[in-house]
Structure 1
Amino acid sequence: MDVSVSEYTDENSALRDDLAFRYRLVRPAKPNRECLFVLHGSGVDETTMLPLARKISPDATLIAARGRVPQDDGFRWFERITPTRFKQASIRNETAAYAQFAAEAAKRHGLDLNRATFLGYSNGANVVSTLLLLNPGLVRRAALLRAMPVLDDPPAVDLHGTRVLIIAGAADQTYGPYAPALVTLFSQRGAEIDARIVASGHEFGDTDAAIVRQWLTAPVA
């Protein structure tokens, strides 16, 4: 079932401008205590991930923010040099800003970060990965779709107690080759890793939604 922004209530569909990142708050009719912080890919905006997030967790509250760096007709999260090389200062500055945004959004809307999942796709997944490394303890559960390592000098932080799901596309020629390095990066820091490969390219789809949904409901090791 695809869900468009227009199917939400007026309050939920409004683009908010009261924090550092513009964002949408989406509350279902009968919300549970879970929440998803949703980070979109390059060249689009925050609405593109809402249907996927709702398929994953229909009763969770969603916080879907918009990256602040313009790209094409949309946005991205930090500046790039090539498709697989990125400006390090931009990564660190925008990651710090998003970490503060997540904390403030949780406080403002009564959300428990200990029950939050950070769901990112492509450039958005890369932000979630840098949140894990640069702000340890903020993210307890992270679902990374089509991600790659982006920090030139990732810190040796302790990520024990953090769950990370990494889903790579078998035919993703841009980011797919970097997926093993990402798994190693987080495994070495003690995170609980679940790594999957799906039969797709860089795009996401229903298979990703099913995997993330199952991962969220599986018993914690």
Structure 2
Amino acid sequence: MIEEISQDGALRRDLAFSYRLYSPADSTGECFFLLHGSGVDETTLVRLAREIAPRATLIAVRGRIVQEDGFRWFGRITPTRFEQHSIRTETDAFAGFVADAATRHHLDLSRATFLGYSNGANLISSLMLLHPGLIERAALLRPMPVLDDVPATDLSKVRVLMIAGATDLTYAPFAPALVTLLSRHGAEIDARIVPSGHEFGSADAAIVRQWLRGSAAQAG
């Protein structure tokens, strides 16, 4: 599966993070930054994103922390405790990557959706809190809060979709705390639960598609 997807976009190493760019000829101008989960690589969310938005430009990014035979976004101490210095260092670097990628590939960040799964979703939530103004729209699959110290950030212009898995016994119990955290900072939250575990699938794609239609209508 990964080999088949990888033929669509060559791996690029010209910015701070390795990434693949998928830009269809009939692109709508919307774009998705894709942040994978732990222990895999940048290709794992491409099929899901294509199911959500077939004509969007995709920027599939690879985390820089090596884990076994895959990658992650920042170091962890236990499955639910994370290295705070690593979170901040990698979040700062990713903020720079987003700005550089937008400039290099002529991306309109006002039309960007940040789609993250698990560890990738946690990087996105950290990015919103540590670099306000960069993200306007984010879809977080199976996330949890990871920052110990959160700055006084204004997220009143940010729309966030969060999808937890009903049988995700390790991470779903932390999702309400992230809803509360982002809401207290002003973000508009749509929190959903799907009948699955930590894995993602077509049910997530359908929810994200529906949410994006609502976001577009609200923006219009």
Normalising TM by the smaller chain, what interval? over 0.9
In structure 2, the partner of 1:169 is: 165
Partner of 2:126, secondary structure, is helix
Distance in 2 separating the partners of 1:140 and 1:103: 14
2:26 is aligned with 1:38: no
Displacement of 1:13 in angstroms is 1.8
Distance in 2 separating the partners of 1:73 and 1:6: 19
Distance in 2 separating the partners of 1:5 and 1:195: 33
The answer to whether the 8 A contact 1:159-1:189 is kept is: yes
Matches within 5 A, 1:1-221: 6=4, 12-218=8-214, 219-220=217-218
Partner of 1:13, secondary structure, is coil
The answer to whether the 8 A contact 2:122-2:146 is kept is: yes
Displacement of 1:4 in angstroms is 6.1
Q: TM-score, normalised by structure 1?
A: 0.95
Partner of 2:60, secondary structure, is strand
Q: Which amino acid aligns with 2:178?
A: L
Q: Which amino acid aligns with 1:135?
A: H
Alignment deviations for residues 142-196 of structure 1 (CA, whole Å, 9 cap, x no partner): 0000000000011121101110000000000111000100100011011111000
The 1:7–1:158 alpha-carbon spacing in structure 2 relative to 1, beyond 3 Å, is closer
Unpaired segments ≥5 residues, structure 1? none
The percentage of aligned residue pairs carrying the same residue is: 68
Distance in 1 separating the partners of 2:20 and 2:55: 16
The answer to whether the 8 A contact 2:74-2:90 is kept is: yes
Alignment deviations for residues 41-95 of structure 1 (CA, whole Å, 9 cap, x no partner): 0000001110001111111000001000011110000000000000000000000
Displacement of 1:6 in angstroms is 3.3
Partner of 1:120, secondary structure, is strand
Aligned length: 217
Displacement of 1:29 in angstroms is 2.6
Q: Which runs of 4+ in 1 moved over 6 A?
A: none
Q: Which amino acid aligns with 1:89?
A: H
Alignment deviations for residues 88-109 of structure 1 (CA, whole Å, 9 cap, x no partner): 0000000000010011001100
Unpaired segments ≥5 residues, structure 2? none
Q: CA RMSD in A?
A: 1.4
Distance in 2 separating the partners of 1:4 and 1:34: 24
Distance in 1 separating the partners of 2:88 and 2:64: 14
